[in-house]
Amino acid sequence: MGKSAGKSHKNDTGENASAFLGGKRLRIDLHIHTMESDGALSVQAIIDLALENGVGILAITDHESTQGVTEAERLSAEAGLTVIPGLELMTYYQEQEVHLLGYYSAVDHPDLQVRLKELREQRTALAYDMVKRLQADGIPLTWSAVEREASAEGAVSKGHIMRAMYHGKMVASSFGPREMGALFQPGGSAYLPFFEHRFEDAIDLIYATGGVPVLAHPGILHNQKIVPNLLRYRPIGLEVYYGYWEQRRALIEHYTVLAKEHALFATGGSDFHGPFSPFKIGQLDIPLSGVSTLREYLGV
């Protein structure tokens, strides 16, 4: 991708958004999940959707897994798309859950893969304990039903548990999706925090294995006061352009300013997990400038 992007259009924050290359609009999505973690679609289906939606640059960011990256790179090369290899890590900071994205030129570093395997095992053990809590609460859910929702290599997570509950017809008028989701939030009977990966350690891991860290969807953190502290530990990027469920425009404007003051660059993405996701692949307007800066840091 060249640095001269030609014309641009405006998104709802007034920022310059996705560029036009060769007369064709180039859309960007740097936060996408597949069946290799808790997404509902295969890598092939994700690439097909990207093509349908006019996405030219995308990143596969599965939780604690890079299993889908090689296939995504192969399929994207055939389709004329650009894939930035990525991942998403669940971390904790001051006993709060914080998600961290990592972007790479290549994800085959042995230290990275060893640590990701450990984290997948730890997250699966946590999911098992969540299922036990649900069973104690009278919900007729089996661990084998949850395992069927996950890939062979990926970690089992609360997303798989919720899908198993849905497919097992445990979601009804008296127990809807919102109530189900609340079970896994702080205060819910199935909520168990993941305290196996410190935020600082995750930052160090990404840098030590050739990646660049980006703080994911800061607008959904329960305690907004920690965001500046998260950006101070080491220089990282900030995911500004995100489909925040409330006050989206105001939050994007706020984090645009924060990124300019405290982050390496601003990125964004749909956080797409499947047809049920509130935002579709390529739906958000994401400026090309942050992606270009990210690629410069990665040397690609």
Amino acid at 131: V
Of 80, 75, 139, 68, the C-alpha closest to 107 is: 68
pLDDT tens for each residue of the chain, 300 residues long: 333 333 333 333 333 444 544 445 689 999 999 999 999 999 999 999 999 999 999 999 999 999 999 999 999 999 999 999 999 999 999 989 999 999 999 999 999 999 999 999 999 999 999 999 999 999 999 999 999 999 888 899 999 999 999 888 887 655 677 788 889 988 899 999 999 999 999 999 999 999 999 999 999 998 999 999 999 999 999 999 999 988 999 999 999 999 999 999 999 999 999 998 999 999 999 999 999 999 999 999
- Strands, E assignment, 69-110: 82-83, 86-93, 96-103
Separation between Cα atoms, residue 297 and residue 284, nearest integer Å: 23
pTM for this model (two decimals): 0.89
Six-digit token pair at 185?
């939030």
Separation between Cα atoms, residue 279 and residue 102, nearest integer Å: 21
- How is domain 8-110+198-298 classified at the CATH fold level? TIM Barrel (3.20.20)
Residue boundaries of the structural domains of the chain: 8-110+198-298, 117-182
* Separation of CA 263 from chain center: 18
Helix, strand, or coil (residue 140): coil
